[in-house]
Amino acid sequence: MKEIDEKTQQALLLFNRRAETAEKESQAANEIKKAEKIKDEAVAALQKAKDSGSDPEVIAEAESAWRNALDIWQRLRDGEAIEETPEETPEETPEETPEETPEETPEETPEETKD
């Protein structure tokens, strides 16, 4: 194996550091773009909910999703490291929580316990 002189080794180290920094900047820019897209979709969903005269609960959920997306986008834009990326944030819907649906437990209704 050929020996690398000190100047060449320093140049390689500098190149590698710059390449690593450029890669991190590219990843950060991609995360910001994804967060911005999610934020824009949340704004559209909120506006649609308001325009269609949806229930206040639906509007509140859409507004909450928008505020969360806006917060994540702003934090990424400001350079904060966020452990959970926007696309990994699960959105809970009432259909996903079966313990809240009374239709699944008819044996607990007051009418049946009186007999």
- The verdict on pTM exceeding 0.75 is no
The dihedral over CA atoms of 99, 104, 106, 108, expressed in degrees to the nearest 10, equals -10
pLDDT in the model for residue 53 = 84
- Measured between alpha carbons, how far apart are the two ends of the chain, in Å? 91
pLDDT in the model for residue 4 = 80
pLDDT in the model for residue 80 = 84
pLDDT in the model for residue 1 = 60
Any idea where the domains of the chain sit in the sequence?
17-86
Model pLDDT for residues 57-98, shown as the tens digit of each residue: 999 999 999 999 999 999 999 988 787 544 444 444 444 444
Q: What is the mean pLDDT of the chain?
A: 79
Q: What is the mean pLDDT of residues 22-44?
A: 94
